[in-house]
Homo-oligomer: A and B are copies of this chain.
Amino acid sequence: MHAPHPIDVAAKASGEPTFREIGVGPWEQTHPGEPRPTDPKYDSQLLDEGDRRNVLDRYRYWTVAAIKADLDARGRHDFEVAVENWTHDFNIGSMVRTANAFQARRVHIVGPHKWNRKGALMTELYQHVENHPSIAELVDCWHNRIAGEIAAARAEAGAAALHAHQAAQRGDTQALAARTAQVDAAEARIRELEAARVIAMDIIPGAVPMERYAFPKRCLLLFGAEGPGLSDKALELADDVVYISQFGSVRSINAGAAAAVAMHSWIAQHAVIGGVAE
């Protein structure tokens, strides 16, 4: 029998590994004397048994449907992510989970239909996840969607400009101001949509370092699998190829970790950051 390692003996003696409790117990314990809520957003089983799920505290005791509806009502961010699934990479689950945490507008799985949901921790339930047979099809769809939104914004700007003109003729300064603001907002949205880009995240010759890259607000981020990186077609169809600066010996960090770093860079540049955690 081996003698135990001295670090392990000292670790055991430290008594350190005590952890705070995550989540909440049954409603009667956490809110003694308070009436049990009847709002349908609450799940009666969770109220009975407590809620130890890996969800933010604001969603304690809520049903999955109520959480998804709340996320949609709060609005999602303007970036979308796509993951190539040619090698059935186990990091896809982790990417879906990160996309949920950072509220990506949509998640696209490219290639074979089935993917490894293990690391997603059920977050796919709260996320808009789409399948695409190929990068070419996905990029085509995405460009069409952007073009459609630009056309809609142009129509809106045109109609508002006409109404502004009519208001000016009537001498209605209040309506004129409101319609002019509407034109400005639609034009700002058009500029944002016209600046949309497809961004391949990979380390290849000619790629630019992410730390100096200004993410367009509206964008589609392409991630490849561990090992091979993105397919040739993905690199060909991207507007920009961006890499995470590497300072050590490895070519890359873990694919799930790299996707998180890239999505977080968008967040740091564009998201509204809240205050101290509650």
Binding site for B on A (CB under 8 A): 5, 7-11, 13-14, 16-20, 22, 54-57, 59, 67-68, 71, 77, 84, 86, 94, 97-103, 110-114, 119, 121, 123, 126-127, 131-137, 203-209, 211-212, 227-235, 243-254, 256-261, 264-265, 267-268, 271, 273-278
Residue from the list B18, B254, B273 in contact with A119, Cβ < 8 A: B254
Q: In the assembled complex, how far is the CB of residue A204 from the closest CB belonging to chain B, in whole angstroms?
A: 6
A212–B17 touching, CB < 8 Å: no
**Beta-carbon nearest neighbor of A68 in chain B:** B249
Are A101's CB and B14's CB within 8 A?
no
Distance in angstroms between the alpha carbons of A5 and B203 in the assembled complex: 33
Q: Is the CB of B112 within 8 A of A253?
A: no
Q: Can you list 19 A-B contacts (CB < 8 A)? A: A7-B112, A9-B133, A11-B110, A11-B134, A16-B234, A18-B231, A20-B229, A20-B235, A54-B251, A56-B249, A94-B254, A98-B254, A99-B248, A101-B247, A102-B248, A205-B278, A209-B277, A247-B267, A264-B264
**Number of copies of chain A assembled together:** 2
Question: Whole-angstrom distance from the CB of A216 to the nearest CB of chain B?
Answer: 18
List of B residues within 8 angstroms of A206 by Cβ: 276-277
- Say which residue of B103, B131, B250, B264 sits within 8 Å of A244 (CB atoms): B264
> Given A256-B257, A264-B261, does the pair A276, B67 have CB atoms closer than 8 Å?
no
Q: Are B264 and A134 in contact (CB under 8 A)?
A: no
- Which of A7, A127, A209 has most B Cβ within 10 Å? A7
Closest Cβ–Cβ distance, residue A108 to chain B (whole Å)? 12
Give bound CA distance, A261 to B265, whole Å: 9
What residues of B have a CB within 8 angstroms of the CB of A267 in the complex?
A: 211, 245, 247
* Inter-chain contact B133/A250, CB cutoff 8 Å: no
Q: Known interface pairs A16-B136, A22-B227. Does A250 touch B131 (Cβ–Cβ under 8 Å)?
A: no
A67 and B249 within 8 A (CB): yes
Q: Nearest B residue to A131 by beta-carbon distance?
A: B7
The docked-state distance in angstroms from the alpha carbon of A226 to that of B267 is 22
Cα distance, A55 to B254, chains bound together (Å): 13
B246 touches A111 (CB 8 A): no
B245 contacts A136, CB within 8 Å? no
